[in-house]
């Protein structure tokens, strides 16, 4: 019998794509969305793809939603739901940073804690956390988002060490700059509060340049869109299906080298005190 897979943030992007592909392969997939209005679109996508999906409303920040999910018999949890805030870290309203942590870190943690109970009883399970290359690298003006993904990395590492001897696998997947629409929303998020009267208004041109660079270097030109989206989705699918998955996956593959070189450069610029 195929395992049951719960995917959060399945209203769009990688969450939706992975839900459809796993359902196509015959898995029982619980595709969850933050709000009820997204359910109709996900069901329509499933009908168009001629697959069967169980679609549920699950806001990871909603206690009642999380408690309801604890009653589901879940073998694989894919923590994909996430939001992003950008802007100068020295000025961003801290409530926005807190809200990001509530979704990206605390919501995922509490949902995981609830579902681990069932996995421990069965003596098996798998937890796949969708992080980001921003979980291992830090980019100026994207600090609030990077902070949450760094926390996801630590959460994943601790979880892996603690659950390994219980036969519960933990995997972390770090997408690079894919054109799913998320990065555009991330960039635009700051303009709710960042304006000509901001403390760092004098840096506006630099900020816009870095934003443009981030968006222009996404994998989005011509047919590459489909190839790379499918590539990242295939990583999620492989992590679900592999009985002995790697702990960390970074996609696209060329970003592995980028991350390695940037972290080496950062280490070389550090000063040790003895």
Is 130:80 a contact under the CB 8 Å cutoff?
Answer: yes
Is 10:32 a contact under the CB 8 Å cutoff?
Answer: yes
Q: Using the 8-state DSSP alphabet, how is residue 3 labeled? A: P
In angstroms, what is the C-alpha Rg of the chain? 19
* Residue pLDDT tens, the chain, 274 long: 789 999 999 999 999 999 999 999 999 999 999 999 999 999 999 999 999 999 999 999 999 999 999 999 999 999 999 999 999 999 999 999 999 999 999 999 999 999 999 999 999 999 999 999 999 989 999 999 999 999 999 999 999 999 999 999 999 999 988 888 889 999 999 999 999 999 999 999 999 998 888 888 776 423 333 444 557 888 999 999 999 999 999 877 666 666 666 555 554 554 444 4
Contacts of 176 (CB under 8 A, 6+ apart): 133, 219, 250, 251, 252, 255, 258
Query: DSSP letter string over 16-50?
Result: HHHHHHHHHTT-EEEEEESSTHHHHHHHHHHHHTT
Positions annotated as catalytic residues are: 145
Q: What are the chain's domains? A: 4-264 (3.40.50.720)
Q: Which of 263, 86, 107, 102 is nearest to 174 (CA)?
A: 263
């Amino acid at each position: 019998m195929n395992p049951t897979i719960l995917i959060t943030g399945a209203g769009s992007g990688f969450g939706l794509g992975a839900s459809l592909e796993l359902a196509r392969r015959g898995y029982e997939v619980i595709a969850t969305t933050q709000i009820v209005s997204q359910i109709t679109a996900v069901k329509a996508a499933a009908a168009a793809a001629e697959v069967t999906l169980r679609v549920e409303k699950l806001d990871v920040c909603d206690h009642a939603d999380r408690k309801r999910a604890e009653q589901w018999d879940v073998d694989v949890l894919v923590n994909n739901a996430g939001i992003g805030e950008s802007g100068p870290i020295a000025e961003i309203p801290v409530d926005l940073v807190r809200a990001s942590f509530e979704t990206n870190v605390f919501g995922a943690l509490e949902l995981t804690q609830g579902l681990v109970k069932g996995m421990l009883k069965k003596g098996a399970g798998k937890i796949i956390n969708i992080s980001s290359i921003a979980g291992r690298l830090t980019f100026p003006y994207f600090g609030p988002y990077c902070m949450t993904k760094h926390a996801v990395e630590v959460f994943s590492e601790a979880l892996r060490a603690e659950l390994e001897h219980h036969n519960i696998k933990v995997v972390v997947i770090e997408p690079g700059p894919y054109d799913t629409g998320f990065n555009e929303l991330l960039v635009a998020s700051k303009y709710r509060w960042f304006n000509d009267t901001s403390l760092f208004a004098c840096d506006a041109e630099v900020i816009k340049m870095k934003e443009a660079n981030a968006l222009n270097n996404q994998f989005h030109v011509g047919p590459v869109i489909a190839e790379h989206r499918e590539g990242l989705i295939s990583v999620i699918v492989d992590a679900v299906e592999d009985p002995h998955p790697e702990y960390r996956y970074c996609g696209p593959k060329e970003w592995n080298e980028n991350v390695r070189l940037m972290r080496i450069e950062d280490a070389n610029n550090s000063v040790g005190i003895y």
